[in-house]
Amino acid sequence: DVVMTQSPLSLPVTLGQPASISCRSGQSLVDSDGKTYLSWFQQRPGQSPRRLIYRVSNRESGVPDRFSGSGSGNDFTLKISRVEAEDVGIYYCMQGRHAPPTFGQGTKVEIK
């Protein structure tokens, strides 16, 4: 299985400040169709995961534009431009290029 490694695992952030989460995959996530299958999920306390971004940088409908995804190949980043209180939770990256789909360990975002 493809290993997904996130860092940091814990991210204390001041409200209004930016936050950045890294995700690295053990193999390239670029498919033969040229698309890169890397998604980001947010899991707020007590809730189910929610997809924020798919194919590296495509925001899900309704996701605030302070969330952005970038990267290529094996190295990806989720950025929150200005953290708000509702952004507290655990963030996961997921690769869908290689079966079975696999997730990173999660990064816990909390307010300082």
Q: Judged by CB under 8 A, does residue 91 bind another protein?
A: no
CB closer to another protein out of 59 and 66: 59
Q: Judged by CB under 8 A, does residue 110 bind another protein?
A: no
Closest to 107 in 3D by CA, of 43, 27, 35: 43
At position 12, the amino acid (one-letter code) is P
Interatomic CA distance for residues 112 and 97, integer angstroms: 36
Answer for which of 1, 75, 84, 110 binds another protein (CB under 8 A) is 1
CB closer to another protein out of 2 and 88: 2
Interatomic CA distance for residues 79 and 99, integer angstroms: 27
Q: Pattern 11-50, binding to another protein, x per CB under 8 A?
A: --------------------x---x-x-x-x------xxx
At position 83, the amino acid (one-letter code) is V
